[in-house]
Each structure stands twice: as C-alpha cells, then as structure tokens.
Structure 1
C-alpha cells in the first residue's frame, strides 16, 4: 500500500482539451441544501445540489461532482433539472446504468448518473451531461437511513457529512486536489423531527454547529396548525456552514429506548410487507472478564485528534474492572505494543499504561490499520474472549480487506471489535463496516465533545458475555410460529438449471447433418457477456422471511439495534402478531417478545431500509445467501464456490432494482428514455391500487380518503424526492 495520502475526492468540474491534453476545470459555485425529516429512529433526507455553467459560448458535455453520505444510507430517489426539463432516475444494474447514460450523452441528450465509488460506501458521484451555456443544474437526491444511538445523551444521533476526509492509501481512480475547490457557498440544513404522538421531545442539541431549535412545530407547519411536543425543527443558526466538518444533531425524547416492531405494507408492490424490529435490551447479566486490547491510531492524520484520543483512553483505563487483562497497541505505518502480552489490570499496570498514553503524538506516519489489528489478534490470549477497541479517524482506502479479515476472525464468536471514530470527518464506511464485521458497535466522538458516557457504555458493551445464538421468530394470529432460520432452507431445481443450459447450447450450436468446418471465414468471435453468465447461475427462491442483518449482531444493554424482515408475498395470508427474540447466556436462556404495530397507511421507508441493509451485507460478503441451505443439507456457498460471488451480486442487484435502492452494484440513471418505463410502472401501480380496492369490497368512509391519497402517490411515487401525503402519515 502507498504510504502517502491521496487528495480529497471532491469538487464540481468538467474536462476540456488544452494543448492536446485533457485538463479539469472547476465550476466556481456549488450550492447544497439538505432537508431532513426524522421519523422516530429513522430519517429521510432530500439533498439538493446546484451547479452553474457560467460559460456564455459553449455547452458542457459533462460535469461531475463527488460528495459524502453516511455509511449504510439507502439512496432511493434521484432527479435532475436542467433549465425547464426534469429527468427522473431509475435504479439499474451498474453497468447497464452506465451504458444508458453514455448512450444518452453520445446523442447529446440531457442525462444524469449517480454512482457509489468502488470500495467506498460513503462516497457518491453525480455525472450530468448536456448542460447548456449559461444554465444551472439542480440535482435532487433522496436517501433514507436508520439513526445511531447516542450514548452520551441517551437519544438518537443524526450525522450529515459535509466533506470527504483524505484517506490513507492508493485510491483505484482519479482524485481531485481539494485546494482547488474551496469557492463554495457551503450547505444549508433544516431538520424536522416527528416522534410517536405522546412521546415528547425533551431537547435538541448540536455539538458541532450552532443551531436554532423550535419545539412543538415543524419547519413546514402553518400558523393554524396545532402544536405538539412530539414535533420539533432545527436549522443552522448562521443559515449555512462551510464544508469543513460533519454536522451532528442529538435528539432526546421520552421512552425512545423502548423495543418496538413496526409492520409496513408496500404501496405499489402487491402483497409485499416489511417489518422493522428495534431492539434496546436492558438486562443484568454478570459481566465477563475478557482480555481488552486498545488499538490507538497515532498516524499523521491524527495530529488534531491526539488530545481526544488520550482523554478517551484515560476514561477507559480508569473504568476497567479488576480481573481483566489488557494491553495497548499504537499504530501508524508501524505498530508497537505496551507489553508483549496483555497484563492483569491493577494499580501498577494502570500507572504504567497512563504514563504511556500521556506520551502519545501523531508521529507514527501512515495509517496501516489492518496490520495493527492482525498483530493484536495474533498476540491475544487464546483461552479468553477478546475485545479489540479501535480508536481512529478512519482514513484508509483498503476497507474491504479489513472487513474480510474481521469476518473470518470473528465468526467463532470469541473476538469482537468496537471501533471509535475520533474527530470530525471520520470515514463512516470504515467505522460502521468494522463494527458490522467485528460484531461490536461503533461510536463517534468529535473533538471537544463530551465522551465519558460513550466510553463507559462501550466498555460495558465489551464486558457483556458473548452470546452466539440469537434467533428471531414471528408469531402469527393463528398461533403459528415461524423462525427465520427455517425459512433459509430452499430447493434448487438442478434439472431446470440443466435443461435451461442445454436449450441455450442448442440455440447457440444447433445440431447439423454435415460436419462443422474447422475454417469458416464468416465465423465471428462468440463473446459471452455477464448476462449470459448470470443465466447459468442456480436460481434461488428468496426466503419467505428474509432478515437483515442475517445474523443478529451481539446485543448490548442500552444500545439500539435494528433488525429488518422482508415478508415475501408468499406469506401474505399470515397476520403477524409479535416477534420473539431468543438467545442463550452463561446464566441461562434469554427471551423477549415484542408486539407488532401495524402502520395505518402503506409506505416504503422500512422496505427501503431493509433492502439497503440486505444489499450492503451481500456487498460485504455476508447476508442471507451465505446461510442458504439446499434440500440436500449443503450450503450454496459450498456447492457453488466458483459462482458464489456472482450469486451474491445478482441477488443484490435484484433487491436494488425491485425496491429502487442504489448501492455498490446498482446506480441511478436519469435519461429521457426513462419516461416510458416510468409511465408503465405508474400504470401497474394504479392497477394494483384499483385491484386492491375491488378485492376488499365496500369500505368505510375513512378508506375513501386513502384511495385518493393512493392515487396521488402512484402518480408521484416514481418521481424521486417528491413529498406526498403518504410520506407525512405517522410512520411509527
């Protein structure tokens, strides 16, 4: 790996030929506006980017802009407005989307493309073609995300990244020097918060920026609307902020930590439902006595974060219970341990460790995080459960290598990894990805932000016994019970697969009465594309209950975890009543039953969150495919090792396209040719709405109102970013 930082990938630019070479020219103005709507513990963000072509004499063939999003978000809407023309985006397989965009660009048509950067799930690029001279371009992106639990205030935490931090390592693409793109007006941010009616909002604070808060109403509320303590809004006190550090908002509300399960019906996909289960366990299990290894980033990028790093480690050291083993690893381009092996916690070792921490500086060079983690795993005491606490600014590019290594090392359940993002501009893709692969949970701590509560709760999580068998079950109204594990058994029809391949070969090479000539001048090279290869893969039926994350992660007291279930149309005749979480602790069995709340009105937010969680797992080498068991008892991964990666990609694409959620393998493309496809989808949605009304027979007058709302939605549901009446109905 390169031992230098690559520049920030940001800025709006176009390329032009100068002296027989292509050079980049940056557009001087980029305007950003973000409107966030928070529904309890999830949010929907509408991000508007305005670009201006100030040239008076020529159109721009293409402009590009890279921007950050928080890891794990689901991009669910994309549209582009150039002058008086609006084109709407649709999710397609990445190569197909790129092809459609390039074809439209070659024809001189207005087109736009939204892609996730390779190996960086928190960086996206927008490309827009056909921008006339003197015109402006407005790109609107809509994304959804689940909000993190904030241990410091015992509430939810919203993070809006406002710049892309430089990252250590070689990036597999072209980067842009950030020094050329500082002429920005910054970003304006408005946040509307809606909790469940009867759940009052206590306070809203921002540790990163000065904000103005209005309790009791939304920014969109009129004077005549009744105020509610379950609603609030916040905006930047200065109107805008420069793109220099992440925007953080903390929301504290009463009883926000109560476990809940919400069932949502999709507004346009027939008989499709999704369930979001929010788990906030409160249990008093006897604390374990594990080995704890702190892995502290002392690379050059940590120069402004060292005081926060030292403070965090000192809080940890003073809170470790007697009987634990511990050690400290410092890393950068190199790494070193305080001791060759972890030592028992006591006054002498505490004094030695505190003295070592106080000597820290950002003097270890680059950021070779993976090597330090590997070294910590190698020197651990194999007979003890091990907790690795990684403190870093998260600025590396080779993230997938880290995830793959941790997936392998933690699958036994003996090792967990708890990452802490230090300072502003932390790579959420790395921090959150490490937490998922490491079966721990992540925390973010900004400079000058209170950290005692977060560090103590993370340490409490590390001391929680390792429980390896969490399972989720669904209880129905007819008292039947279905487990997610059982739904992963599938039938692979190998006869159909063989017959399909045989027909394909016969079509390509039909039987002949005469021998085939070994030299035929008319023969053309037979190129097989990826679509042909995909057709050869075994066909899998999606489970009746598809869970994301597929393996329920370790649960920690007072730390929120969301688990999603996509209920296929095959389960449409069943009415879920409750979900039951089970597990086994050293002190005995664990069980929690949560009644299901059914949303009054159809929506797709939970579906989109579930689909993004599921596709992200597939992108990172995990997910439901890994645990699929055939009718012969073998796993798909073992039966088809060569094709396994392509099977994962295919299923990620299927989910992305079905639920219109972007990701690593799916992109949003906005071209004029989309209009016919969008119109066809509108017709299907309207037919579904009409058929649904006919099948339910006479309804009360309240449902007449819904039919009108549904019709409105079907007209706008494929115009991403629009806010229709259904969106404003109570989500939870």
Structure 2
C-alpha cells in the first residue's frame, strides 16, 4: 500500500492539509481556483512531485505560491526554458515551483515543488478555465476530478508525466472546501450533485445569480460533480467580454471577445425519423482494470459486467438491414467478424453468444491499434460508420489517438463512454469532438444503459451538416473566428463559438476588463491553441512555425499549452543544495481495487445466461428476435409471471402466437417499465414495425385482452394506430 501525501523518511504520511476551491460559472463556462496547503515536516529540504487531473477542456491561466508570508506569481515561459530555470533555482537553494502539462495527455498536470525548507509551509494556488459539458437532460456538468488512475504504459515505450501516476490508499487525509457562484443570461432552475450540498442561495430576484457550497467536512475521495439547470436551455446566448485595458488593441487579449452558445432543439418530426442504415462498430475495453467495481455499493456490478449488459441491449436495438461488428481490446485486440456483417437473426445470435463470454482478461489498455484496423476497413456505401468506444480510459498516448480520430473525421462519427472515475477525460471528450459524436460519463451509481441508448438515438437521428455562419457587427468592426468550424450538429449537442471583435465600436472606449477575470478570452485562446497543436500532428506542416505561434499565444494569454510551463522562483539566502534533494511523490487518490476472491466468485456466477436472473427487463429484451418479434416460450412466460395455459387460452381469434407474444411484450414494457423507456425505446420501435407488417385485423381486441391478462391499462396508440 502506498501512502497518500508527502512521505517522511519513516514512510509516515505528511499529506496535504486541505484544498480550497472557488468556482465562478458564466453561462456555459467556469473559472476554477484551487489552493493546496502543504507543509514540509522532514529534517531536510524537500522536492515534492504532485501529478493531478484536470478537465480535458480546461486551461491553466494562473499559478502562484505563498511560502510563509511571501507570495510569488508564476510566469508562462517556453517549456524547456522554464525547466532549466527550475533546475538552476533548486540547485542554488532557491524555492521554485514548476507547473506543466503532460506531453501525452492534456488532462494531466505535474506540479514540482522545489527546495521547500524543513518545517516550512506552502500554499499553492492555480486557476483554470473550462467549458461545461451538456447532459442528455439539458444539465451542464461541472466536474472537479479527484480520482486519477495509473495509466497503462506498454513496455519499452518510455513514459512521461502520465507514467508517474502512482496508486494510493483510498483513505484521503485532507478535506475539500468548495463554493460555486453561478451567473447566467437565463434564470437558474436548480443545482444538483451526488455530494451533499448546502441549500442553493439566489443572489437576485430574477434568479440569474446564485451560490452553492459543498457541505462541511467533505472528504475528497471521489470526483465532485455538479449539474446546473437553466431555464430556456435551448435559447442561444452570447457573452461579450471587453479586453484587458493594459493590453495592446489589435491582439487577442486587447480586443473584445464574444462567446456564442448554440444548443438547438430540432423539430420533433425531424427527430422521429430514425435511420435504418449505418455501420455500427462497438469497441469494448477488456483490460484488467475493467474488472473493478463501478462504485462502492451493495450488489455492484464490475465495469465489464455492466458493459456486457449494455452490449446485449445495443445488439437487440439495432435496425434490420444495418451492419455491425464488435471489437475487444487490451494489450492486443480481436473482432467478432473479419469485417462488419449485415444485422440478421443469425449474426445477432452469434454476437450475443460471444458477448456472454467477454471477460476483462486482455491485459493493458492499447486503443490505437484496434482503431487503426477499423479505419483501414472500407466503408460500406450508404451505411455511415458509427464507432462506439467503451473504456475506463487508463491510456498513455491520448494525443496520438486523438490525431488518428481527427484524420478520419470525414468517414465516421465517434461516440465515447467513460466507465468509472479516474479515466482520461481528454481521451473521452477529445475522441467525441474530433469524431463529431458525443461523450458520456458513467460514474458513481450511474446506470450505463440509459446513457448509451441516448447516444444510439443520436447516431440514428439525422444530423445537421453544411453549417455556415454570418456575423453582423457595428460599423467599423470585424470578426475573426478563434474556434474551429462546426462541421456537424445533432440533437443534444452544444457548440461554443469564440470570435475576436476588431475595430472600434461606439462604446468600446468606455469598457474594460480586469486581467484576472478574462475567462472568455482565455478559453478563446485555448481553443485556438488546441487547433494549432492538432495541426502540428499533420504531415507536411511547418512545425516550428506552429510551435512558435502556440508559445506566443500561450504567453500573451497566460494559459497553459503543450509547449509552455508556469515557473515561479523565490530567491533565498540559503546555501546551494549539496547532493540530490529528497524527492517525494504525492500520489493522487485511486479507486479501491476489487477483492480477487470476490471477483472470482462474481465471474463464476456470470457464467449463467446474460443478463442476471433477477433483471426481468434484460430478460425480456434478450428474448427478442432481430426482426422485432417475440416467440411464445417458457422464458417469456416467466417474465410475464403467467402459465402457458393462462396465456394461450386468451389468444384472440385469428391471431398468430408470435403476434400475441409480441403484443403482450409491448404491453408489459409500457405497463411496468416506463421508468426505463429510454433503454427499451428501440426494441419497442422494432416490435411495433413488425406488428404493422403483420396486418393484424383485430389489434384493438388484442390490446384489450392483453391489458386484462397482465393487469395493465396500455392504450392502443403505443402500437402506432
């Protein structure tokens, strides 16, 4: 067991004393300030290394340290220059701090605390800006990551910052204080969290400003998630932020910047027209970490168990005539079929039988190779490729993966699902963004199936393409777009557009913005920097010129990038350090590992048919044929809780047994499982379509008798009549 926090020579923990977090939300974005309290209780100077997670869409914009009563504010410099300055400082006995982004993944940072004298305390403060993701229920999700799982690094590949992530005890010795201030152009409806919150306080009468805090004594042993709900969520909003009065006009930080939020709601008639075409490629993480529990509760499934149930549901929900394939990956990969196959009863049954045998037994987490193989397959005419990636995201080469997805963005859409806490948010959100899809996060007690079925609906619905935009600004002004163009937009997806306003407007000379509150400017700079960094991965480009532009923007806007770092040095009168400093890792907290004996027992139990016996909904779904119908057999009767005699003797005249079984299945779903409708909606749609094709002459009588038999009150209109 590795202790969490700074370690003494006696291997006793000297942990962080506490973390204070202040969050300022403006509409769809947030500025997050965190202060970490350290102390060196050793007898020698100390260098501490703390590797910690950051939201994928975030960018650090401020870093400072207070040692005793002296505060030093970091500057942004080119990465190698900052590293040299840090090494020189600690070699001279000075106090120094270095904050840098991982070269492998933008959501991992390393903080080096150099030459902290014995008995000395230090408070480290960093501020970052981030976009808030949109959920299926229109909520905006803010997440403060606490869990950072060790990332798998293949042998012989070396390793950067992500390889320094170490396992730690789940006993978190420090507490978290968090306060969130929310302001929005639209009124705030509510704020929810799985963590205990103090009551929401509205700060004005129109409810556009509010404040909420975590309840006292919260232990930072899991991600903190907040869900913000606004009224008129689909109404476009724009926030114009004036430039820094101390900056030169004509450059990004000196001019006003506008952030436009688009979250359209498409007409119901358009959204109900689901496609029956498509090539659906399901890519399942089968690395060893997928054997971990989804959360620490009673009767909790492992990640791989939940994923198997979800794959079953997806297979039953696909439309006849589409194409599909399933990949499993770990240290290597395998596919169910050499190429994607047409969805028929035969191919579906083959896939279901193989899904039952899937285990978390394939070693490490290497996503790149299966993706390369998928992209090498020729696309099927008139069947757009949709890739569904399921992973706990413990990978090391995130940037390389995102570059690959970007290079094939015109040939597919990518939907991603992060299973459990601690995974790379940069991987999950980045693949969805580069692949024009949608990202989902399954954490805590979340049920995977509803979120996955929501993404399947997105994949089957028509998308808006060929998007153009036209800006109308005051005379004498012009706009320069700072964020990448929007190529595709579908129901449930939000787009943020950043633009620089150049020129002089009638009121521009009376406006200004504090340099420490330029959140929109810094997010705009981040969007432009990320675009340039992705362009660097393209063959045949001037990499040095792009790097120089990234460094220039990063220094100007004071935001993090792959080519810069934050460096702070406090000159001291101490003597130069003789010999190496004591180097201490500060491991980030990790989820508890599952008991191997318990896992073995659970795996043995899962050798029974998928799904588990007690889940009647999955039982019913597993019995449906690819065409959408059910057959009258003992397993179906068991779901209904009826005997064969009770059901068969009530069959209306001139009704086939298969029709009767399918009508009863639809009545049962609508009568007993409406709370899970999002999970079985496609199963039901296939069944309704099948019944229509049977030309049942007395459907009304079937519904009436079926309601009476099952004790329901389902109306005939659920059958499309």
> Do they fold alike, i.e. is TM over 0.5?
yes
The 2-side partners of 1:303 and 1:647 are apart by 45
Aligned to 1:303: 291
Residues 290 and 385, structure 1, Cα contact 8 Å, conserved in 2? yes
Describe the shift of the 1:314–1:198 C-alpha distance in structure 2 as closer, same or farther (beyond 3 A): same
Q: 1:164 & 1:10 partners in 2: Cα distance?
A: 13
Q: Quick one: which of 52, 62, 67 aligns to 1:67?
A: 52
* 1:153-177 Cα distance to aligned partner (Å, 9 max, x none): 3211111111221111245247557
Partner of 1:450: 447
Q: Distance in 2 between matches of 1:41 and 1:98?
A: 35
Measured against aligned partners, the alpha-carbon deviations of 1:497-549 in whole angstroms (never above 9, x if no partner) come to: xxxxxxxxxxxxxxxxxxxxxxxxxxxxxxxxxxxxxxxxxxxxxxx61421x
Give the drift of 1:293: 0.7
Please give the per-residue CA displacement for 1:638-692, whole angstroms capped at 9, x wherever unaligned: 6xx4xx111121111111111110121111111248xxxxxxxxxxxxxxxxxxx
3-state DSSP of counterpart to 1:362: coil
Q: Residue in 1 aligned with 2:395? A: 396
Find the aligned partners of 1:129 and 1:357 in 2 and give their Cα distance. 51
Query: Could you say which residue in structure 2 is the equivalent of 1:254?
Result: 231
CA contact (8 A) 2:242 2:257 kept: yes
| Change over 3 Å in CA distance of 1:9–1:325 after alignment to 2 | farther
User: 2:260 is matched with which residue: 261, 268, 277?
Assistant: 277
Partner of 1:38 in structure 2? 25
Compared CA separation, residues 447 and 553, structure 1 to 2 (3 A): farther
Match of 2:526 in 1: 612
**RMSD, matched Cα:** 3.4
Deviations 1:549-583 (A, max 9, x none): x232421212112122234xxx2236899xxxxxx
Which of 24, 34, 38 is residue 47 of structure 1 equivalent to?
A: 34
Distance 1:407 1:306 in 2: 28
Q: Distance in 2 between matches of 1:576 and 1:13?
A: 57
Task: Say if 2:545 is the partner of 1:545.
Answer: no
- In the aligned structure 2, how far is the partner of 1:53 from the partner of 1:657? 32
Report deviation, 1:227.
6.5
In the alignment of these two chains, the number of paired residues is: 543
* Displacement of 1:347: 4.9
Aligned ranges 1:178-327 → 2 under 5 Å: 178-179=166-167, 184-196=172-184, 199-206=187-194, 210-217=195-202, 229-237=207-215, 239-243=217-221, 245-268=222-245, 269-271=247-249, 272-283=255-266, 284=270, 287-288=274-275, 289-304=277-292, 305-327=303-325
Counterparts of 2:274 and 2:140, CA distance in 1: 26
Q: What's the secondary structure of 2:82's corresponding residue?
A: helix
The TM-score normalised by the length of structure 1 is 0.68
Residue 132 of structure 1, CA deviation: 2.3
Match of 1:554 among 475, 488, 492: 488
Partner residue in 2 for 1:406? 405
Q: Is the 8 A contact 1:47 1:141 kept in 2?
A: yes
Offset of residue 144 of structure 1: 0.9
Output the TM-score relative to the length of structure 2: 0.69
Pairing partner for 1:572 from 491, 495, 503: 503
Distance 1:341 1:117, change over 3 A: closer
Q: How does 1:87-102 map to 2 (within 5 A)?
A: 87-102=72-87
Q: Indicate yes or no: 2:430 matched with 1:459.
A: no
Give CA deviations for 1:290-316 in whole Å, capped at 9, x if unaligned. Answer: 211111111111112113323433443
After superposition, the Cα gap between the structure-2 partners of 1:79 and 1:298, relative to the gap in structure 1 and judged at 3 Å, is same
Assess if the C-alpha contact under 8 Å between 2:466 and 2:488 holds in 1.
no
Distance 1:8 1:185, change over 3 A: closer
What are structure 2's unaligned runs of at least 5 residues? 250-254, 293-302, 572-721
8 Å CA contact retained: 2:186, 2:231:
no
Equivalent of 1:432, from 425, 429, 432? 429
Task: Name the SS for the 2:127 alignment partner.
Answer: strand
The Cα shift of 1:122 comes to 1.1
Distance 1:25 1:432, change over 3 A: farther
Task: Please give the alpha-carbon distance, in whole angstroms, between the structure 2 residues aligned to 1:312 and 1:79.
Answer: 46
Report if the CA contact (8 A) 2:287-2:330 is conserved.
yes
The separation in 2 between residues aligned to 1:472 and 1:12, in whole angstroms, is 52
**Superposition deviation, residue 81 in structure 1:** 0.6
Q: Distance in 1 between matches of 2:530 and 2:7?
A: 30
Residues of 2 paired with 1:190 and 1:316: CA distance?
A: 39
**Paired residues of 1:9 and 1:177 also in contact (CA < 8 A):** no
1:661 matched to which residue of 2? 559
Task: State the structure with more CA Rg.
Answer: 2
Equivalent in the alignment of 1:507:
none
The equivalent of 1:165 in structure 2 is: 149
Counterpart in 1 of 2:336? Answer: 338
Contact 1:108 1:130 (C-alpha < 8 Å) held by counterparts:
yes
1:353 to 351, 373, 379: 351
Give the Cα–Cα distance (whole angstroms) in 2 for the partners of residues 10 and 399 of structure 1. 26
Give unpaired runs (5+ residues) of structure 1. Answer: 1-6, 17-22, 218-224, 483-543, 578-597, 627-636, 674-732
Whether 1:621 and 2:535 are equivalent positions in the alignment is yes
Alpha-carbon distance between aligned partners in 2 of 1:576 and 1:298, rounded to the nearest angstrom: 58
Counterpart CA distance in 2 for 1:50 and 1:119 is 28
- Indicate if the aligned counterparts of 1:38 and 1:191 stay in contact, CA closer than 8 A: no
Q: Quick one: distance in 2 between partners of 1:201 and 1:321?
A: 38
Kindly indicate whether the alpha-carbon contact (under 8 Å) linking 2:105 and 2:397 is maintained by their aligned counterparts in 1.
no
Distance 1:226 1:473 in 2: 35
Report which of the two has the higher share of strand. 1
Per-residue CA distance 1:19-75 (angstroms, 9 max, x = gap): xxxx999744453232222222111111111111113x4433x32222111112110
Partner of 2:385: 386
Aligned equivalents of 2:49, 2:36: Cα separation in 1: 11
Q: Secondary structure at the match of 2:84?
A: helix
